């Protein structure tokens, strides 16, 4: 894709700037015209709404990750240094030259001496900060300079105010670059000035997604199993079985939880969870249904607790404790499954990478 920005050299253009005094006309100044994307005329009654903006703050961190909604976005730079060329690109074939210098260069901004300055002749402090704005070497200085300029404009003449506002306007640049962000996409927008670069990774997510995790959970062992104990005269007595396995039922399980997009890139995620599991132990595997609350660290490790319903072992209704019988019945004959509610807790894990890292190559699909 060809470069979006363009330079328009205008020989013989004369720029006047009256900052409380008239400057010498500046001739033969090379001006780079701001390239605004052409707009299709719309019917007066239904003007086309402006596209949303991805605002890259050049005074902020040079590497940023932004979750955004799907759509088409304009790229706009904020807190740029006036008179400096910036390149904005997204993908190997897309670029846009940001326009420069529509206000006289810093060398042409003369500032009257403060000593002996007659009252009401201007705003020398604001003019000095404008000069510093043009000669700034770091974008982190731009917000403070703008604040100081605006705070010292009370004495400016109308001509000075117009010229200063024109300078301040050059700290915001419409790049002319538009990018399309489909669902579940990741694209990196890069703004550069010489060797300096700002990289903003844009990510679109759906409202959320269901994630699957594996869990090893435990529930208090509330089984009440019975067995037949030998008695005199070839008789047998139904006795309760004494458990000695630690008092917990093991419930390996699979959990399903909803991950909202708002939590996706936080260190801690939490939310409701539903699961399926089976019991393990001496008895046959019994299915279980689990529901509770899950708290995770970076989506991959966490804890869960809640209520589980699964078959508990109980004495078959045909028999009673300490009943004497003539046949030696095994455990399956003496006991039956009775669905009951129980408390559970445990840990969960997910086979996934750390979502905070953006080391994987970004998708650049258009």
Query: Over the stretch 48-97, which tens digit does the pLDDT of each residue have?
Result: 677 889 999 999 999 988 888 888 999 999 999 998 889 998 875 344 45
Read off the pLDDT band of 14 (50, 70, 90).
Answer: very low
Long-range CB contacts for residues 360-366, cutoff 8 Å, separation at least 24: 362/186, 362/187, 362/188, 362/201, 363/185, 363/186, 363/187, 364/90, 364/91, 364/92, 364/187, 365/182, 365/185, 366/91, 366/180
**What confidence score (pLDDT) does residue 360 get?**
42
Q: How far is CA 301 from CA 40, 59, 351, 360, in A?
A: 51, 36, 9, 21
**What confidence score (pLDDT) does residue 126 get?**
92
Average pLDDT of the residues in 198-221: 87
**Around Cβ 62, how many Cβ atoms within 10 Å?**
12
Question: Is the Cβ–Cβ distance between 131 and 111 less than 8 Å?
Answer: yes
**What confidence score (pLDDT) does residue 66 get?**
85
**What confidence score (pLDDT) does residue 302 get?**
95
Question: Is the Cβ–Cβ distance between 21 and 108 less than 8 Å?
Answer: no
Provide the mean pLDDT of the chain: 76
Q: State pLDDT tens for residues 38-51.
A: 445 555 556 667 78
Angle at 220 between CA 216 and CA 223, to 5 degrees: 115
Is 101's pLDDT higher than 70? Answer: no
Report the C-alpha gap between 324 and 236 in whole angstroms. 5
Percent of the chain with pLDDT over 90: 34
Q: State pLDDT tens for residues 129-182.
A: 999 999 999 999 999 999 999 999 988 999 999 999 999 999 998 888 888 888
Does the pTM of the predicted model rise above 0.75?
A: no
| Residue of higher predicted confidence among 330 and 33 | 330
Residue with tokens 């939880």: 257
Q: State pLDDT tens for residues 334-350.
A: 888 888 899 999 999 99
Range of weakest confidence among 75-79, 95-99, 211-215, 225-229: 95-99
| Residue of higher predicted confidence among 101 and 83 | 83
């Amino acid at each position: 894709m060809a470069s979006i920005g363009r330079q328009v050299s205008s020989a013989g253009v004369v720029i006047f700037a009256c900052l409380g005094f008239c400057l010498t006309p500046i001739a033969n100044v090379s001006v780079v015209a701001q390239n605004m994307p052409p707009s299709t005329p719309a019917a007066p009654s239904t003007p086309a709404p402006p596209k949303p903006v991805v605002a890259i703050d050049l005074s902020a961190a040079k590497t940023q990750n932004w979750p955004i909604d799907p759509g088409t976005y304009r790229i706009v730079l904020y807190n740029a240094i006036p008179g400096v060329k910036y390149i904005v690109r997204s993908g190997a074939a897309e670029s846009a030259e940001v326009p420069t210098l529509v206000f006289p260069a810093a060398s042409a901004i003369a500032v009257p001496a403060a000593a002996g300055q007659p009252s009401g002749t201007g705003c020398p402090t604001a003019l000095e900060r404008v000069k510093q704005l043009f000669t700034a070497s770091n974008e982190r200085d731009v917000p403070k300079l703008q604040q100081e300029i605006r705070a010292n404009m009370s004495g400016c003449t109308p001509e000075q105010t117009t010229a200063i506002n024109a300078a301040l306007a050059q700290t915001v640049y419409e790049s002319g670059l538009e990018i399309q962000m489909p669902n579940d996409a990741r694209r990196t927008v890069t703004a550069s000035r010489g060797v300096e670069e700002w990289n903003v990774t844009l990510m679109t997510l759906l409202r959320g997604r269901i994630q699957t995790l594996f869990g090893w959970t435990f529930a208090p062992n509330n089984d009440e199993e019975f067995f037949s104990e030998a008695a005199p005269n070839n008789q047998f007595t139904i006795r309760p079985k004494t458990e000695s396995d630690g008092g917990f039922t093991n419930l390996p399980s699979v959990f399903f939880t909803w991950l909202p997009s708002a939590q996706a890139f936080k260190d801690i995620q939490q939310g409701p969870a539903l699961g399926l599991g089976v019991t393990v132990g001496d008895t046959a595997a019994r299915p279980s249904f689990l529901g509770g609350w899950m708290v995770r660290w970076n989506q991959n490790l966490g804890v869960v607790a809640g209520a589980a319903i699964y078959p508990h072992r109980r004495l078959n209704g045909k028999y009673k404790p300490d009943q004497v019988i003539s046949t030696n019945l095994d455990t399956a004959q003496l006991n039956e499954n009775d669905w009951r509610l129980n408390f559970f807790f445990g840990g969960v894990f997910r086979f996934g990478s750390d979502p905070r890292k953006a080391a994987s190559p970004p998708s650049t699909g258009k």
